[in-house]
Amino acid sequence: MFRAYPIGRLCGIRLDVHASWFPIYALIAATIANAEPVRVLGWIDAYAVGAVAALVLFASVVVHELAHALTARRFGVQTSSISLFLFGGVATLEAEPPGPLADALVALAGPAMSAAIALAAYGAMLAVDPVVPVRYADSAAAILAYVTFANAVLATFNLIPAYPMDGGRVLRALLWRLRGDRDRATATAALVGIAFGLSFAAAGVVAVVATRTWQFAWYVVVAGFLVRTSWVQYRALRRPPVLVSVRPSRPSASEVVSVGARTADRWSV
């Protein structure tokens, strides 16, 4: 339905931008520009802050995916692409990690990287005053505050143990280690992901009705994406073989998905 545009290579991995990314980038940039502490900078500066902060946010999502990809490479698994799309970023691995420990480490590398970026941005924010010229100090501080907040949310939200998020993959790795069966572990983690997604959707509906704030409808959209991804994974593993000689359809590649910070809180600086 949408096209993906290759925009370059990072450490030998193709970087794609999906057409669905452009509207979400514009929406995030505009939302940051209109947030209370940014709006006071005046509309030109506010939109400049919004545009830069949203770009830095997606750059940090790419670095998060790169952390997954380079950890996977360490275990002999290559990554065919890293893509930005409507719901954040995704690294498409060419194979599953070779064992539960590798699986858990590949999954944990992303949130660990986001937490490190949040700490670095927070440190940079504290150092803005003596370094950045006064004219740009407020804008720089606003961008760094946003990048700190967004990466902290990215690290935390992705650790929720619900597939397809990173925490769900850690849960899968744990079950794989305990039961010794990767597919059964994946199916269970996918079921937990479906249950979480449905609860998240219900919470979104309640929030829309209770507060009459339509932004919460986005939670329902994200929940729909989580449920669909988990369901596709679950069904692929549970589908019985059609013929004895034909193996059941199995996902051939492993996708490590990062859901954007927008899912966990309203955009604010």
Closest CA to 151 of 58, 37, 46: 58
DSSP conformational letter for 263: G
Q: Is 92 among the residues that bind Zn ion (CB under 5 A)? A: no
Which residue's Cβ lies closest to Zn ion? 110
Pattern of binders to Zn ion over 224-243, x per CB under 5 A?
A: --------------------
Residues in the chain: 269
Separation between Cα atoms, residue 52 and residue 34, nearest integer Å: 14
Q: Please state the closest distance from residue 165 (CB atom) to Zn ion, in A.
A: 7
Q: Please state the closest distance from residue 64 (CB atom) to Zn ion, in A.
A: 6
Q: Please state the closest distance from residue 35 (CB atom) to Zn ion, in A.
A: 25
Q: Which residues have a Cβ under 8 Å from the Cβ of 106 and sit 6 or more positions away?
A: 68, 71, 72, 75, 77, 93, 97, 169, 256
> Per CB under 5 A, which region of 110-118, 124-132, 190-198, 225-233 contacts Zn ion?
110-118
Q: Is 255 a catalytic residue?
A: no
> Per CB under 5 A, which region of 20-28, 126-134, 209-217, 253-261 contacts Zn ion?
253-261
Separation between Cα atoms, residue 99 and residue 92, nearest integer Å: 18
Q: Please state the closest distance from residue 72 (CB atom) to Zn ion, in A.
A: 11
Q: Please state the closest distance from residue 257 (CB atom) to Zn ion, in A.
A: 7
Q: Please state the closest distance from residue 3 (CB atom) to Zn ion, in A.
A: 24
- Residues 29-88 binding Zn ion (CB under 5 A) are none
Question: Where do runs of H (alpha helix) occur along 127-249?
Answer: 128-131, 134-158, 166-179, 182-211, 217-238
- Total residues at the site for Zn ion (CB under 5 A)? 3
Find the binder of Zn ion among 88, 110, 164, 193 (CB under 5 A): 110
Strands 88-93 and 79-85: antiparallel
Burial of 2 (0-12, 13-18, 19+ CB in 10 A): exposed
Burial of 44 (0-12, 13-18, 19+ CB in 10 A): exposed
Pattern of binders to Zn ion over 159-188, x per CB under 5 A?
A: -------x----------------------
139 or 258: CB nearest Zn ion: 258
DSSP bridge pairs for 258: 89
Q: Is 258 among the residues that bind Zn ion (CB under 5 A)? A: yes
Q: Is 103 among the residues that bind Zn ion (CB under 5 A)? A: no
Residue of 65, 94, 96, 255 marked catalytic: 65
50 or 110: CB nearest Zn ion: 110
Separation between Cα atoms, residue 189 and residue 92, nearest integer Å: 19
DSSP bridge pairs for 83: 16, 90
Contacts with Zn ion, residue ranges (CB under 5 A)? 110, 166, 258
- Catalytic amino acids? 65
